[in-house]
Every structure is written in C-alpha cells, then in structure tokens.
Amino acid sequence: MTSPAHHLSLPIPRWAYAVALLALMVTWLVLQENGIALGHAAESLHEFFHDGRHALGVPCH
Amino acid sequence: MTTYTGVLLRGVGAGGIAGLLAGLFGLVVVEVPIRAALAVEEARPAVESGGHDHGEMFGRGTQMVGGVLGAVIVGLAIGALFATALAGSRRWFVGRPPFTRSVTLGAAVFGAAALLPAVKYPANPPAVGNQDTVDYRTMLYLGVIAAGLVVVYGSSYLASRLTHLAGPVRSTVVALAAIAGVAVILLAFPASPDPIPADMPSEVLWQFRLASLGETAILWLGLGVVFGLLTDPSVRQSTARAQALAA
C-alpha cells in the first residue's frame, strides 16, 4: 500500500444487484431486443431505436 | 459521497451526459452515412430487399430522435453499471486518484466493449446484413464483448497478484498478457457471416464505421471523464477529512 488516500471502494448494498440487473435489461431492450422477450411489441421499440442501434455498432439486419 | 447511493447517482448523471454527447454526435455525424446507406437500400428492387422496410413504422425524424434518446438511455444504464463496478472494485488501480481510475476504466471498457467488437465485427449501416443471420451475429458480437471484459477483469486481477514485481516489469507483464488475450479472441471467433453487398459504396461503409466508433468512444470515454470529474473532488475531501481525524 503506497498511499492510504483516495479510496472509492465502498460496501455495495444488496439492492445494487437489482439496479445492475435493471440497467442490463434496459440496455438489452434498447440495443438487442428482436422479439425474444416482447414479441410483436418489440418491433416498434426496435424501429424507434433503429438509428441508435446502428450508430452504437449493434448487429442489425 | 461516502455512500454507494451517492456514487450511483454520479454514475447515472455522468452516463446521461456522455450518452447525450454521443447521441448528438450521432445526430450530426453518424446520420450522414446512415442516410446514404438508406438511399442504397431504397434503390434496390422491393422484392429483393428482404427484412422489413426501415422508416415505414416511424418517419426518419422520429428515428433520429430515437437515435439520440437511445444513446442517452444506454448512457444512463451503463453509468449505473460503471459506478457500481468502480465502487465495488478493490483491485482496480488502488491508491490512484479517483479521476485516473475512472478515465482508465472508461478507456479499458471502451477497448473491450466497443473497439474490440469494432475490429472483429465492424459496425454496418442499414442495407448491410441478412435478416436470417442476425441472431448468430448478435451472439458473436456479445460473445466478443464478454470475452473482452474478461480480459479487462483478468488484467486487473493479474496486476493485483504481481505487486511484488517492480512497476515497469509488472506493467509490461500485464500488457503482454492483455495483448495475448485479445489476440486469442480475434483468432478464436469466426469471421462475420454476412458479405458486404456489392451496391454498398466503400466510402459510405467506412464513413459509417468510423463515425459509429467515434460515437461509442464519446460514450465510454465521456463516461469515464465525467464520472471522474464528479467523484474526484468529494473523494479527495473525504480523504483529507479522514486524515485530519487520524492525525
């Protein structure tokens, strides 16, 4: 340990895992959803974020 | 600042700002080759185009808004994940200032989650890509990202296990291990299954790929920089307070 300074490491509460899961789900819905989870409703989501998906490098059709 | 909630809120805020910057870059820069690619798609005979027609359900204007909004939403989500990863990390550049830690993690994740997939499976504009292979391509793309993140995590783990080595030696060993890991990923994953259609001009393709890489760079590096700016002062303050108390 060179310096005791600058610790950002914190205890992570249990609900943080719920937040992480939610964040992953949101990312999935915006970037990846092709109908696996939402079926037909996914199509409008997919179309709305179409430019964003392409621009962020996500495989598309 | 010393609570996880404080760090999380800063992460979400930093992600929102980075996402907005990336989205605006997309609106101004990435839209140009997207428009050119859509023109190529529309010039095709209707029967051959396959998949579905872009812009039928939503107008172009709405999709451009969706492009910015999508980047902001993804920014908020990855900001939360980024903050949690940094708050929970006991190994990641311990002892370095929070700003350095944040920018370095942002750069590392950009390398694993954006640059590496961009090298192996370059982003494609509309009018490229077969509907039938999209699930397979998505699996390869997510697999490369996951493997890249394993290399990032493994590198920090290796660095934490080699603290007995001199700094430059340790850095060299870790860098060589990371390069070897990336080389294995690039060699092990199969090539992209879809050929580039002959009617897609290579200028449009490369303009799009570079612009798309620019947008992801703004997203990840912006997240690292803004999160660092938001956390660094308060971490320094609480550190100073703790030292004053200890003295």
Give how far A30 is from chain B: nearest CA, Å: 6
Q: How far apart are CA B216 and CA A9, in angstroms?
A: 27
List of chain A residues whose C-beta atoms are within 8 Å of the C-beta of residue B1: none
Number of domains chain B is built from:
2
CB contact under 8 A, B212 and A56: yes
Of the pLDDT bands very low, low, confident and very high (cuts 50, 70, 90), residue A4 is very low
Are both B97 and B175 inside the same structural domain? Answer: no
User: Residue B222 pLDDT > 60, yes or no?
Assistant: yes
Of the pLDDT bands very low, low, confident and very high (cuts 50, 70, 90), residue A37 is low
Of the pLDDT bands very low, low, confident and very high (cuts 50, 70, 90), residue B186 is very high
Are both B148 and B218 inside the same structural domain? Answer: no
Of the pLDDT bands very low, low, confident and very high (cuts 50, 70, 90), residue B53 is low
Are both B29 and B72 inside the same structural domain? Answer: yes
Are both B107 and B185 inside the same structural domain? Answer: no
User: Residue B36 pLDDT > 80, yes or no?
Assistant: yes
Average pLDDT, chain B: 91
Give how far B181 is from chain A: nearest CA, Å: 22
Average pLDDT value for residue range B227-244: 85
CB contact under 8 A, A1 and B62: no
What residue has token string 């609480």? Answer: B238
At position B60, the amino acid (one-letter code) is: R
User: Residue B52 pLDDT > 70, yes or no?
Assistant: no
Stretch 168-207 of chain B: residues touching chain A, C-beta under 8 Å: none
CB contact under 8 A, B69 and A23: no
Least CA distance to B77: which residue of chain A? A23
If one compares B181 and A5, the residue with the highest pLDDT of the two is B181
B45 and B28 Cβ atoms separated by less than 8 Å: no
Closest CA relative to residue B136, chosen from A30, A41, A61: A61
pLDDT tens, B74-107?
999 999 999 999 998 888 887 788 899 999 999 9
- What is the pLDDT at residue B172? 96
Domain positions in chain A are 14-56
List of chain B residues whose C-beta atoms are within 8 Å of the C-beta of residue A59: 121, 124, 129, 134, 137-138, 140-141
Of the pLDDT bands very low, low, confident and very high (cuts 50, 70, 90), residue B240 is confident
Average pLDDT value for residue range B34-49: 82
Give how far B178 is from chain A: nearest CA, Å: 23
DSSP string, chain B: --SHHHHHHHHHHHHHHHHHHHHHHIIIIIHHHHHHHHHHHHTS-TTTT-S--TTSSS-HHHHHHHHHHHHHHHHHHHHHHHHHHHHH-SSTTTTS-HHHHHHHHHHHHHIIIIIHHHHHS----TT-S-GGGHHHHHHHHHHHHHHHHHHHHHHHHHHHH-TTS-HHHHHHHHHHHHHHHHHHHHHHSPPPSPPPPTTS-HHHHHHHHHHHHHHHHHHHHHHHHHHHHHHHHHHHHHHHHHHHHH-
Are both B29 and B118 inside the same structural domain? Answer: yes
User: Residue B55 pLDDT > 60, yes or no?
Assistant: no
Cα atoms in the 13 Å half-sphere on the side-chain side of B65: 6
Give how far A36 is from chain B: nearest CA, Å: 10
Q: How far apart are CA B70 and CA B139, in angstroms?
A: 21
Domain that holds residue B60: 4-128+202-246
> Can you give the length of chain B in residues?
247
- What is the pLDDT at residue A2? 42
Are both B8 and B123 inside the same structural domain? Answer: yes
CB contact under 8 A, B67 and A3: no
CB contact under 8 A, B235 and A58: no
Burial annotation B33-46 (CB, 10 A radius, 16+ → b, else e):
bbebbbebbeeeee
List of chain A residues whose C-beta atoms are within 8 Å of the C-beta of residue B31: 51
User: Residue B116 pLDDT > 90, yes or no?
Assistant: yes
Are both B87 and B28 inside the same structural domain? Answer: yes
User: Residue B56 pLDDT > 70, yes or no?
Assistant: no
Q: What is the pTM of this model?
A: 0.90
CB contact under 8 A, B73 and A26: yes
Are both B121 and B91 inside the same structural domain? Answer: yes
Average pLDDT value for residue range B164-186: 95
A20 and B92 Cβ atoms separated by less than 8 Å: no
- What is the pLDDT at residue A7? 65
User: Residue B228 pLDDT > 90, yes or no?
Assistant: yes
Stretch 24-43 of chain B: residues touching chain A, C-beta under 8 Å: 26, 30-31, 34
- CB within 8 Å of B176: residues ≥ 6 apart: none
- What is the pLDDT at residue B37? 93
Reading the block at residue B171, the tokens are 């850095």
Are both B100 and B169 inside the same structural domain? Answer: no
Q: Which of A23, A55, A61 sits opposite B130 (nearest CB)?
A: A61
DSSP string, A13-49: PTHHHHHHHHHHHHHHHHHT-SSTTTTTHHHHHHHHT
Least CA distance to A13: which residue of chain B? B4
Are both B222 and B152 inside the same structural domain? Answer: no
Are both B111 and B211 inside the same structural domain? Answer: yes
Are both B96 and B135 inside the same structural domain? Answer: no
